Amino acid sequence: EDQVTQSPEALRLQEGESSSLNCSYTVSGLRGLFWYRQDPGKGPEFLFTLYSAGEEKEKERLKATLTKKESFLHITAPKPEDSATYLCAVQANSGGYQKVTFGIGTKLQVIP
């Protein structure tokens, strides 16, 4: 069974204090790993797709990386507007089942 574990569950940072969020996964044949941002009371917003180990993607202060067992979302010099819950999800090459398995998320709070 595909599994996604995110850590930490919650993270509190001072503005400008860089850090990383972790997403470890167990899946038989990774088709893709996805990062989403979710603000309170809203739907998830797509950030990145990573397909293979060694791949990296960047967007503003966010950088996502992928290894064979985990992914990191690095946040450089965060601002209060980066406060949100960050979700990781994986999709496996499991026949015709188009399933995406989500983690519970990391709730990030950036304090001015």
Partner 1 sequence: NAGVTQTPKFQVLKTGQSMTLQCAQDMNHEYMSWYRQDPGMGLRLIHYSVGAGITDQGEVPNGYNVSRSTTEDFPLRLLSAAPSQTSVYFCASSYLRTGGEQYFGPGTRLTVT
Site for partner 1 in 37-56 (CB under 8 A): 41-46, 49
Of 65, 71, 91, 106, the residue at the interface with partner 1 (CB under 8 A) is: 91
Contact between 87 and partner 1 per CB under 8 A: yes
56 three-state secondary structure: strand
DSSP bridge pairs for 107? 10, 85
Specify whether the CB–CB gap between 21 and 103 falls below 8 A: no
Residue 103 CB, nearest approach to partner 1 (Å): 6
Cβ atoms of 108 and 35 closer than 8 Å = no
Tell me if 58 contacts partner 1 by CB under 8 A: no
Query: How many positions of this chain bind partner 1 (CB under 8 A)?
Result: 23
Task: Report in angstroms how near the CB of residue 85 gets to partner 1 at its nearest.
Answer: 10
- Count CB-CB contacts under 10 A for residue 106: 21
